[in-house]
Structure formats: structure tokens, C-alpha cells
Amino acid sequence: FMTFSFFTSRNERILRVYRKRVIEINALEQKMRKLSDIQLREQTLFLRKKLKTSNSVASILSEAFATVREASRRVSGMRHYDVQLMGGMSLVEGKISEMRTGEGKTLVATLAAYTLALWGQGVHVVTVNPYLAERDSQLVAPLLEFLGLSVKHIAPEHNQDQKRDAYNADITYGTNSE
């Protein structure tokens, strides 16, 4: 019985594409580090314009992820690992990225949430309970607000005005029941 290396699984083909993208993101790291805080914040406007022109998330993904990674390093001292970048890519594509406790799901979600929020249509990050929605939104708000986006959470005890306000944010954290 012979096996051929060109018969690769769908998963391996996806991961190969993700690894190439990680190399692109890593190549942008020094450029991002040289930017002032103001210049890094201006990336949001630049990427929004580029997205409107290209109408393709793929055209901005590497720059968006590099921007979030650098902002996270500056704001919280946390730098996304390469595997977390790949998890973010999966989320941007609407796929599920399985991660164990402690592997940085909250940090991974910032990559996809920021990138998709550049469309200007609002992004919902769904967690399993109201506690996590509030906790995660509070953890990531400094990072995403640094980049010019608004972050809110919704909870069962919020009134209609509070929920409306949260839904009007760039990124809204909540549970599937909300």
C-alpha cells in the first residue's frame, strides 16, 4: 500500500494557508512596533478604507491581525502566539476553533472581532454565560478602544435602553439567549 503526500486532508490544506498568513503577519511585526500610538490607532481608519475599496477581508487580514497583536502588546503586555493567530483566522472565516481552558480564547477573539468590526456593521461575541460576557468585554475593552472601537456587553438585568446601547457598539459581548 502506497501513500502520496499530495493527498492531504482538508484540515492540513487549511492549516497550510494559515501558516503562510502567519508568516505575513510576523513580517509586519517590526513595522507595527515602530508606529507611534497615534499611528497605530490610525490603522483602524486606514484598514476600513482599504476594506471598502477591496470589499475583501482577506486583503486586510494580515495588517489587521498585526495591528491587534501590537496594540495588545502595548495595552496589556500580551502578545498573540502564532497558533492564536491561526485560531483568529478560523473565526474570521466563520469556522470553529477548538481551544482548551487557558489557551487564550478571549485574546483570540480580539483578532476576529476587530477585523470583522472594520465593516462597520457590529460584531457579536457570544459566550456561554453572562459572567463571561461581562468579564471578557471588560478584559478586551482597553485593547479594542485603544484602536478606536467601542465595546459593550449585554446582560439579562439590562433594560431596553442599555441593551440598545450595547447593540450599537462596534463589538457586543453577550450570551446566545440575549
Please report, as a single letter, which amino acid is at residue 64.
Answer: A
pTM above 0.85, yes or no: yes
Per-residue model confidence as pLDDT tens digits over 30-60: 999 999 999 999 999 999 999 999 999 999 9
Going by the DSSP 8-state scheme, the letter that residue 129 receives in this structure is S
pLDDT digits (tens, 9 = 90+) for 115-163: 999 999 999 999 999 999 999 999 999 999 999 999 999 999 999 999 9
* Nearby residues of 53 by Cβ (< 8 Å), 6 or more positions away: none
- Candidates 85, 20, 93; CA nearest to 57 is 93
